[in-house]
């Protein structure tokens, strides 16, 4: 299938193009995860570190999102949800986007390295590589790409936790538990998104549902199964005595609500119910992260 040329909208400026390249709203959610995790594990709050985490995290995330769009610029022309991005429309050239993303990626890494700790900067740089260099090409090859993409997707929690440590930086056991929750969360979250966008993704030959059969029984069962895993995972901080009973009860209630929505979708799979499940996951994650932050 040949990509068609799409004319640039007259009301679409270069400045807007660079902003769209960053996926600013998505970046905000990523930074929220990192900062909440920092507050969760930090013995005391260093506001210089918090600012660096916000700015550095946003820059690193923007770079990863931008590199992804550079690599997929021809494929983005094929899908309705991406055809108006800055490069398919011709608002930005690949060279302009590459320079922009490289500057953001280097700046974000340096900010995290210098103003939090070196390990935090290294993890930020690794997240760019995993997302752009590993996950992005795999999307057209195997459903396993979602598993690979879950690592950079969950790294913000690890980055936030590491930012709160001293010296070179280190990874605590509590940080691993928080990372694991966000890692598992991504499966029901992203597969729900992939379900109601499956036909659009198919135009670019993306394999994002867990079954190569697409919207079949295997895929809907995997969504339900990982919703169960998520509920179990969210209890681990209590099991290992990292948080108290109130935080855990909030996690359990949120997990059961998400699992109930996943079960409804499993029984009556439809794009509408997949969207409801997707939005349920968007509510679930900050609720759980804020509950764990209290440690009560």
Task: Tell me the two tokens of residue 12.
Answer: 């679409």
209: pLDDT strictly greater than 90: yes
Share above pLDDT 90 across residues of the chain, in percent, rounded to a whole number: 88
Give residue 11's pLDDT.
58
- At residue 9 the predicted structure's pLDDT band, cuts being 50, 70 and 90, is very low
- At residue 26 the predicted structure's pLDDT band, cuts being 50, 70 and 90, is confident
Q: pTM for this one?
A: 0.93
Give residue 41's pLDDT.
95
Give residue 6's pLDDT.
42
d(CA 254, CA 152): 24
Give residue 112's pLDDT.
97
* 230-251: average pLDDT: 97
- At residue 10 the predicted structure's pLDDT band, cuts being 50, 70 and 90, is very low
207: pLDDT strictly greater than 90: no
8: pLDDT strictly greater than 80: no
117: pLDDT strictly greater than 90: yes
Give residue 182's pLDDT.
97
* 183-197: average pLDDT: 97
Which comes out higher in pLDDT, residue 12 or 166? 166
Most confident of 21-25, 29-33, 37-41: 37-41
* 63-90: average pLDDT: 94
Task: State whether the Cα torsion 152-157-176-119 is positive or negative.
Answer: positive
* 282-286: average pLDDT: 97
Average pLDDT, the chain: 93
- At residue 12 the predicted structure's pLDDT band, cuts being 50, 70 and 90, is confident
36: pLDDT strictly greater than 50: yes
Task: Tell me the two tokens of residue 172.
Answer: 């605590």
Contact 108/58 with Cβ under 8 angstroms? yes
- At residue 25 the predicted structure's pLDDT band, cuts being 50, 70 and 90, is confident
Share above pLDDT 70 across residues of the chain, in percent, rounded to a whole number: 96
* 19-34: average pLDDT: 91
155: pLDDT strictly greater than 80: yes
Quick: pLDDT tens for 216-238.
Answer: 999 999 999 999 999 999 999 99
Give residue 4's pLDDT.
38
């Amino acid at each position: 299938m040949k990509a068609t040329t799409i004319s640039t909208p007259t009301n679409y400026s270069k400045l807007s193009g660079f902003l769209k390249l960053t996926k600013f709203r998505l970046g905000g959610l990523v930074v929220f995860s990192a900062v909440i995790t920092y507050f969760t594990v930090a013995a005391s709050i260093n506001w210089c570190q918090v600012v660096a985490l916000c700015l550095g995290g946003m820059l690193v995330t923007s770079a990863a999102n931008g590199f992804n769009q550079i690599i997929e610029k021809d494929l983005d022309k094929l899908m309705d949800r991406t055809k108006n991005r800055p490069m398919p429309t011709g608002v930005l050239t690949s060279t302009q986007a590459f320079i922009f993303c490289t500057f953001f990626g280097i700046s974000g890494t340096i900010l995290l390295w210098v103003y939090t700790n070196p390990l935090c900067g290294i993890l930020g740089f690794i997240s760019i590589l995993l997302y752009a260099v590993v996950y992005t090409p795999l999307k057209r090859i195997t459903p396993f790409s979602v598993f690979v993409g879950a690592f950079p997707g969950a790294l913000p929690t690890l980055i936030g936790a590491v930012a709160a440590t001293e010296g070179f930086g280190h990874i605590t056991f509590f940080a691993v538990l928080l990372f694991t929750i966000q890692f598992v969360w991504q499966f029901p979250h992203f597969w729900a998104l992939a379900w109601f966008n499956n036909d659009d993704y198919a135009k670019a030959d993306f394999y994002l549902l867990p079954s190569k059969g697409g919207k079949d029984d295997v895929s809907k069962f995997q969504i339900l199964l990982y919703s169960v895993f998520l509920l179990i995972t969210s209890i681990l901080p209590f099991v290992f005595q990292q948080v108290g009973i109130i935080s855990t009860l909030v996690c359990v209630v949120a997990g059961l609500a998400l699992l109930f929505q996943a079960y409804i979708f499993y029984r009556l799979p439809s794009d509408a119910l997949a969207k409801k499940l997707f939005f349920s996951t968007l509510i679930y994650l900050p609720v759980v992260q804020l509950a764990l932050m209290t440690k009560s």
